[in-house]
Amino acid sequence: MTIADAAARLAGSPVRGVRVVHGGDLSAVWRLDLADGARLIAKQGALVATEASMMKAMAATGVPVPAVIACEGDLLLMEWIDSNGGPGLEWDELAQVLACLHGAQGGSYGWAEDYAFGEVTIANAPADDWPTFWAERRLLPFIADLPAGLRARIEELARALPDLLPRRPCASLLHGDLWGGNVLSSGTRVAALIDPACYHGDREVDAAMLTLFDHPPPRFFDALDLDAGWRERQPAYRLWPLLVHLRLFGGHYRRGVEACLSELGH
C-alpha cells in the first residue's frame, strides 16, 4: 500500500498530491494535499506513535502544535501548519509559549518511553535526582565512542554535576529538541512547535538548546525568569545536543563539545 493510499484511508479523503518534505531525521516526511482541500503532514517511522503521544501532551498544555489527525502502525498524520520560518520577531511570544509548556509538570524526571534521534537512543528511564538523570541518561551514554581524553573529561564532569545542577528542579514538560528549526512562525507569532523529543526535566534545557544555532535576545531570557546561576549551567545543557550531533554528524561538533567542557572547567 502506498503512502497516499494509507493516508487516504486514515484521513477519510483521497490524496491528490504528495510532496517530500526534507529535514526529518527520525522518519520519512511528506506533505499531502487531500481532495477535500485539507493539507496534512505524513510521517512514517518506527517511533511515530511516541511522537504522537508527545504532541498530544504538548497540546494539552495549550501551546500551539500541529493537531494529530491519525496514527496507525508506522504512519502518523498531522495538521499542516503554514509558516515563514523559525524564530524571528516573536521571541517575546515564544517565552510565553514556553512558560505555558513548562508549567505542566511530571512526578519524576524522564518519560514513559525511550526515544531516538536517528540511530542515537534517548534514554528516558527515571532517576532519583536531576544531576543523576543528566549524567546517566544524557552524557555518559556517549563516552564509549569518544577518544580517551574527551571521555575522561565528560566522566569528570558527570561526577561534578551534583555541585553544578539543582538536585530537584521542577520536572517541567520539555520540548526536548528546541532548536530554531522546530519553532514555526507566521508573521510575528509562534505558529507551532514541532518535532518534539519530550521528557520532564529542568526547563533550562529548552533555553540552552535555543542557543545552539540561534541567538535569542536578552529580553527572551529575562521573560523566562530562570533561576539564579542559569548562565553557568547552560554549557552543561548544551553539551548533550552537541554530543548527539557529534555522534550523528562528526567533524566540527567536537569543537563545540570541548568548548562547553572548558566553560565548565573540565
CATH for 59: 3.30.200.20
Residues 235 and 126 in one domain: yes
Using pLDDT thresholds of 50, 70 and 90, give the confidence band for residue 86: low
More confident residue, 235 or 214: 235
User: How far is 258 from 66, CA to CA, in rounded Å?
Assistant: 36
Q: What is the residue range of 22's domain?
A: 3-79
> Which listed residue (33, 82, 145, 177) is catalytic?
177
Confidence (pTM): 0.95
Q: What is the pLDDT of residue 66?
A: 97
User: Is the predicted pLDDT of residue 88 greater than 70, yes or no?
Assistant: no
Which of 18-32, 60-74, 89-103, 214-228 is predicted least confidently?
Answer: 18-32
218 within domain boundaries: yes
Reported as a single tens digit per residue, the pLDDT across 178-197 is 999 899 988 778 999 999 99
Q: What is the pLDDT of residue 238?
A: 98
Q: Is 84 helix (H, G, I), strand (E, B) or coil?
A: coil
224 within domain boundaries: yes
Residues 69 and 35 in one domain: yes
Residues 67 and 156 in one domain: no
Give Cβ neighbours of residue 113 (< 8 Å, ≥ 6 apart): 50, 53, 124
225 is catalytic: no
Compute the average pLDDT of residues 71-97: 87
**Beta strand pairing status for 39-44 and 172-174?**
unpaired
Reported as a single tens digit per residue, the pLDDT across 60-69 is 999 999 999 9
Residues 145 and 224 in one domain: yes
Q: What are phi and psi of 159, to 5 degrees?
A: -70, -30
Q: What is the pLDDT of residue 205?
A: 98
Q: What is the pLDDT of residue 23?
A: 60
Residue that finishes a domain, picked among 24, 50, 79: 79
Residues 113 and 216 in one domain: yes
Residues 181 and 100 in one domain: yes
84 within domain boundaries: no
Reported as a single tens digit per residue, the pLDDT across 114-172 is 999 988 999 999 998 999 999 999 999 999 989 999 999 999 999 999 999 999 999 99
Q: What is the pLDDT of residue 22?
A: 74
User: Is the predicted pLDDT of residue 39 greater than 80, yes or no?
Assistant: yes
User: Could you please report the per-residue DSSP string of the chain?
Assistant: --HHHHHHHHHTS-EEEEEE----SSSEEEEEEETTS-EEEEEESTTHHHHHHHHHHHHTTT---PPEEEEETTEEEEE----S-SSSS-HHHHHHHHHHHHTSB-SSSB-SS-EEETTEEE-----SSHHHHIIIIIIGGGGGGS-HHHHHHHHHHHHHHHHHS-SS---EEE-S---GGGEEEETTEEEEE-S---EEE-THHHHHHTTTT----HHHHHHHTPPTTHHHHHHHHHHHHHHHHHHHH-TTHHHHHHHHHHHTT-
Q: What is the pLDDT of residue 156?
A: 98
Using pLDDT thresholds of 50, 70 and 90, give the confidence band for residue 90: confident
**Residue whose C-alpha cell is 509548556:** 101
- In 3D space, the residue among 53, 92, 101 whose CA is nearest the CA of residue 76 turns out to be 53
Number of domains in the chain: 2
Averaged pLDDT of the chain = 94
Which CATH number covers residue 147? 3.90.1200.10
